[in-house]
Chains A and B, each alone.
Chain A
Amino acid sequence: MPFISQFQRQSDYNLFSPTTPIVIDNGASYFRIGWAGETEPRVVFRNIVQRPRHKVTGETVTIVGDHNPALMKYFDCTRSGPRSAFDSNVVYQFEIMEYILDFGFDRMGANGLEIDHPVLITECVCNPVQSRSKMAELLFETYGVPSIAFGVDAAFSYKYNQHHGVCNKDGLAMCPGFTTTHVIPFVDGEPVYKGCCRTNIGGYHVTDHLKQLLSLKYPYHLARFTWEKVEDLKMEHCYIAQDYASEAQLFRRGGKEAEEKTRCWQLPWVPPPTEEPPSEEEIARKAAIRERQGQRLREMAEAKRSSRINELENELHGLEFLLQQLDQVEESDIPSFLSDTGYVSKQEIESARAKVTQSLRKAKGEPKSDQAETERADSANSEKYSLINIPDETLTPEQLVEKKKQLALKSMSEGRQRSKQKRYEEEMQRERRLQLEEEKRLENPELYLEQLHAKYKDLSEKVDQRKRLKTNGNHTNGNNLSGGVGRGERLNAAQRERMRLLTTAAFDRGKGEDTFGARDEDWHLYKLMSRDNDDDDEGPDEDEAELARISSRLQDLDPTFVPKLDTGNAQSAEAVPRSRPLTKEDFQIIFGVERFRCPEILFNPNWIGVDQVGLDEMAGVSIRRLPDKDESLEERLTDSILVTGGSSVFPGMIKRLEAAIRMIRPCGSPIRVVRALDPVLDAWRGASAYASASLFHTQTFSRADYYEKGEDWLRGYQLKYTI
C-alpha cells in the first residue's frame, strides 16, 4: 500500500528554534505536517475525525485519523461515521479542523504554552476568503501562531520539480487530487490563476464508482466492499487504458488477452463439511433399531385391538342376554324391567346391539360392507322419509311439520351424498391423469421432462410478471420516509384505478359546492373500487398452484432442477439460490472491465453525471483561458507538462495524456508530459523547501497584520513563489 499513516509522537520539538516554520499540507485525503527544510513530513494521517462513544464508560471521545480496527471494537461506532472537515476541497468545518490540528501538533511533540513557530499551510486554488479568514483566526487565536502563509499545493509541487529540473519555468501543472482536479499554467515560475481550470472529479469519485459497481454486481458480498478495501483494490489493480473503446472491444471478444487482464479475488470460503456415508455397521445397527421399534409398536397395537374386541364382545353378550330376558318378560312389564338397565325400549336395545356388532366387525378387521350400509341406509330412508311422498292435503298439521323436517333432512343427506360422489369422481380423475402422465413418462422420459420444464418456465414468467406489476412501486422509494401513502407509491394497478375514480369524483365541475354524495348513485363508486381489488387477488392463485405442482414434480424427477425463487422481492435477489450448495466460484470477485472503467471517469466526468470537461480537455481550456498568449508561450507550456497529485499514479496515465494533448495541439508542436518525482509527497516537499528559504518571512503575515488590514486585504493576499 503506497500511503501509510505515521503518527509517532516526535520528541525533538524543543530542538527547533522559534524561527523554524512548521509546514502543513492540509489535503482532503491526508494531513501532512513537518518541519521546514526536511524532506519527509514527520506526521502523516488521514484527514478524518470520528467521535464514537466508548462502550464501557459511555463517554464520547474524539479519534483522529484511521486506526487499527482491532482497537476500534471497544467503541460504539454506529452513530459516528468518519467525518471530514472538507466540502469538495474547501475547509468549512472548523471544529473538525481544530481536532485535526490538535492531533497534528500533539504528535509533533508540541509542548509549551503556544505554538511559537510560523506556519505554512496549503489551501485550494482561489480559496474563498471566509474559509481563509476562519483558518487564520483559528491558528492565531487558539494556537498562538505568530505568522502564517497560505499556498497552493500544486504550485509547491511544480516549484519543487522545477528546482530538480523535471520541468521548466513555463509549463502546465495537472493535478488530479482527492476531490478535484486542477490544471494551472505557470509563466515565469509563477502560477497564472486566470488560466486555471478545476473539475470536481477526483480519486474519491473513482473509488466511489468502483464501490458502487461492485456492490451492484455482487450484492451477496455487499458487506465486504468497505471504502478502505475498495480503495486498496483501486490502487492495486486499476489502470488507464490507452484507448477505452479498443480495450472494451478486447474484453468483449473475450480472448486470451482479456483473460490475462482479468483479476480474480477469492473471498475466504469454507466448503461445507461433507458427511461421510455411514458405514455398513451403522446402517445395519440403525435398521435393527428401527425394526425393533416397529415391532414394539405393532405389539402395542395388537394388544389394544384385542382388548377392545374383548370389551365389545362382552357388551354384545350382555345386550343379547338382555334381549333374551325381554322376550321372556311380558309386554306390560317391559318399562319397569328396563328401568334398571337404562334402556327405554326394545328398539333401543336392538339398535345398540347392531352398533356394537358393527364396531366388533370393524375391530376384527373385516371390510365394512358398504353394500349393507347403503341398503340399510335406503331402508332407513324409506322409514324416515315416509311422510314425504304423501301429498300435503292428507296430512294433519303435526304431520306437516314432521314432513318439513323430513324434507330438510333428506335434502341435507342427499347433498352430502352428492358431494361425496363428486369428490370420489375427482379422485378418480386425478388418478387417471397421474396414470396417464406416468405412462407418458415411461415411454419417453426426456421429452416429458422437456415439456415439464417448458411449462414451468412459462408459468413462472407469467406469475412473476403479474407479481411485478402488482408490486412494482412498493420497493423503490427509499427516499420516502413518511409512513403514509405518498405521491410516489400508488403504482399498483388497483390503487391507481382507485385514485383515478376518486379524483374524477372530486373534480370540481365549476358549480362551486361539492355535491358528491347528495345522490345515492355517487356511492356506487366505492363498489367499483373494491371489485378492482378483489379481481387482482384471485387470478394468480390457480397459476401459482399449478406452478407449485409442476415444480414439486420436477424436483422429484430431475436431480438438476432448481426451483426459481420469488424474485419479486428485492431482498431475495441477493440470495444465491441455496437449493444447490454454494461453490467456490460464488465467492470469487472478478475484475475485468472495472479495472479501466473506473479511472476513465477522470477523462469522462459525464459518466458520473458531472457535466464538466475531463483531464485531457482541461489542458486545452486552460491554455485558452490565458490572458495574453502567443504561439511560443503555448509551445513552451506544452513542452513541460507536469502531472502530480494523488490520483495521478494510475499506470497508463502519462501515455494517455500525451495522446490526448497531441490531438488538441497543432501538428508538430512539442509535447512532453512527465510525472512528478513523487506525486503524493511533492507538495509537502515543495512547501518545506519554500519555507526554508531565507526570504520566507517576507511572504507571511502576522496577527497584527491580519487584524489591522482586515478581510479585503486577506482576499488579495497571494504568495510569490519565486523567492
Chain B
Amino acid sequence: MEPEVVEAEIVLPTYLSFKRVQTYEKYPKGQSRGRHWKHLKQIIQSENYSNYPSDEPTYVSIESPPSMHPCKRICDITGFEAPYYDPRTKLRYANAEVFRTVRSLPDEYVQKYLAMRNAAVVLK
C-alpha cells in the first residue's frame, strides 16, 4: 500500500476493537455480496399494514396524492412554455426553430429527453 494512502487513512481497517463481531466474520468472503437485502418495495409489501388499525400513519399512507393543479407544460429542450407537441417523437417544443432541432435529433437523444420526463418507450 502506498505510503500516502496509508497516511491518509482512507481505507477502513478490517479489525475494530469496539465491535463484538467483525465484518469479515459476519460476511465471509466468497458469499455473494449483493445479498438478499430487501429493497424498499419489498419491505413495504411484506409489512402487513392491513393487520393494524387503519388510522395510524404508516410509511405508505403519508405519501402525497397526485397534483390537482393543471400541469404546466414546458419545452423539453429549451425550458420555455410549450403549447406544442410533436406526434412523431412525442417531445414538446416551444416554437418553429426548436421544432427543427427536435426533428433533426437522432433517436437516441429523443429517447433520453423522454426518459427525463419518464415518458420513454421501454421495450422489455
Contact = CB atoms under 8 A, between A and B. Distances in A.
B46 interface: yes
Contacts of B94: 252
A9 B16 CA distance: 14
A54 B57 contact: no
A74 B123 contact: no
B12 A63 contact: yes
Contacts of B50: none
A613 B68 contact: yes
Interface stretch (A23-31, A190-198, A345-353, A682-690): A190-198
A71 interface: yes
A573 to B, nearest CB: 5
A209 interface: yes
A597 interface: yes
A606 B71 contact: yes
A480 B113 CA distance: 19
A573 B109 contact: yes
A99 B26 CA distance: 12
A110 interface: yes
A480 B124 CA distance: 8
Contacts of B8: 67-68, 71
A479 B66 contact: no
B27 A95 contact: yes
B108 A570 contact: yes
Nearest to A182: B62
Interface in B75-96: 78-81, 94
Interface in A477-506: 477-480, 486-488
B66 A611 contact: yes
A597 B64 contact: no
A113 B23 contact: no
A284 interface: no
Contact of A92 (B37, B74, B108): B37
Contacts of A365: none
A567 interface: yes
Nearest to A67: B10
Contact of A618 (B18, B19, B64): B64
Interface in B91-124: 94, 104, 106-109, 111-113, 116-119, 122-124
A333 to B, nearest CB: 87
Contact of B64 (A124, A245, A612): A612
A604 B35 contact: no
B106 A567 contact: yes
Nearest to A192: B57
Contacts of B13: 106
A593 B80 contact: yes
B18 A112 contact: yes
A127 B118 contact: no
Interface in A607-644: 607-614, 617-618, 621, 627
Given A248-B80, A593-B79, A621-B65, A128 B123 contact: no
A186 interface: no
Contacts of B66: 611-613
A248 B74 contact: yes
Interface in A84-100: 87-88, 90, 92-95, 98-99
A244 B79 CA distance: 10
A129 B81 CA distance: 45
Contacts of B21: 141-142
A213 B64 contact: no
Contacts of B62: 125-126, 193, 196-198
B81 A128 contact: no
Sort chain A's interface into a size bin. Answer: 35 or more
Given A252-B80, A612-B64, A93 B37 contact: yes
Contact of B65 (A102, A209, A612): A612
Contacts of A573: 106, 109
A624 B56 CA distance: 16
A61 interface: yes
Contact of B79 (A64, A594, A609): A594
A511 to B, nearest CB: 34
A569 B18 CA distance: 58
Contacts of A479: 122-124
Interface string A328-348: 000000000000000000000
A194 B8 CA distance: 47
Interface in A169-211: 193-194, 196-200, 209
Nearest to A8: B9
Nearest to B119: A609
A114 B18 contact: yes
B61 to A, nearest CB: 8
A103 B12 contact: yes
B72 A475 contact: no
Contacts of B47: 128-130
A642 B8 CA distance: 40
B117 A608 contact: yes
A216 interface: yes
Contact of A248 (B20, B79, B104, B117): B79
A131 interface: yes
Contacts of B20: 113-114, 141-144
Contacts of B39: 87, 92
A63 B11 contact: yes
A105 interface: yes
A95 B35 contact: yes
A62 B11 contact: yes
A143 B18 contact: yes
Contact of B109 (A198, A209, A216, A473): A216
A475 B43 contact: no
B51 to A, nearest CB: 10
A476 interface: yes
A632 B20 CA distance: 54
Contacts of A9: 9
Contacts of B16: 102, 105-106, 110
A110 B104 CA distance: 61
Interface in B1-39: 1-2, 4-5, 8-13, 16-21, 23, 26-27, 33, 35, 37-39
Given A93-B37, A106-B13, A113-B17, A193 B108 contact: no
B124 to A, nearest CB: 7
A325 interface: no
A87 B69 CA distance: 29
A99 B106 contact: no
Contact of A244 (B2, B72, B106): B72
A612 B63 CA distance: 9
15 contacts: A62-B12, A67-B10, A106-B12, A112-B18, A125-B62, A126-B62, A128-B47, A143-B19, A143-B20, A144-B18, A197-B64, A200-B63, A472-B107, A488-B123, A607-B74
Interface of A: 9, 51, 54, 56-57, 61-64, 67-68, 71, 74, 87-88, 90, 92-95, 98-99, 102-103, 105-106, 110-115, 124-131, 141-144, 193-194, 196-200, 209, 212-213, 216, 219, 244-245, 248-249, 251-252, 472-473, 475-480, 486-488, 567-568, 570, 573, 593-594, 597, 604-614, 617-618, 621, 627, 715
Given A102-B23, A475-B108, 6 more contacts: A71-B4, A92-B43, A102-B19, A216-B112, A248-B74, A610-B118
What 6 A-B pairs come out closest when comparing CB atoms? A609-B118, A593-B79, A193-B57, A87-B40, A488-B123, A612-B64
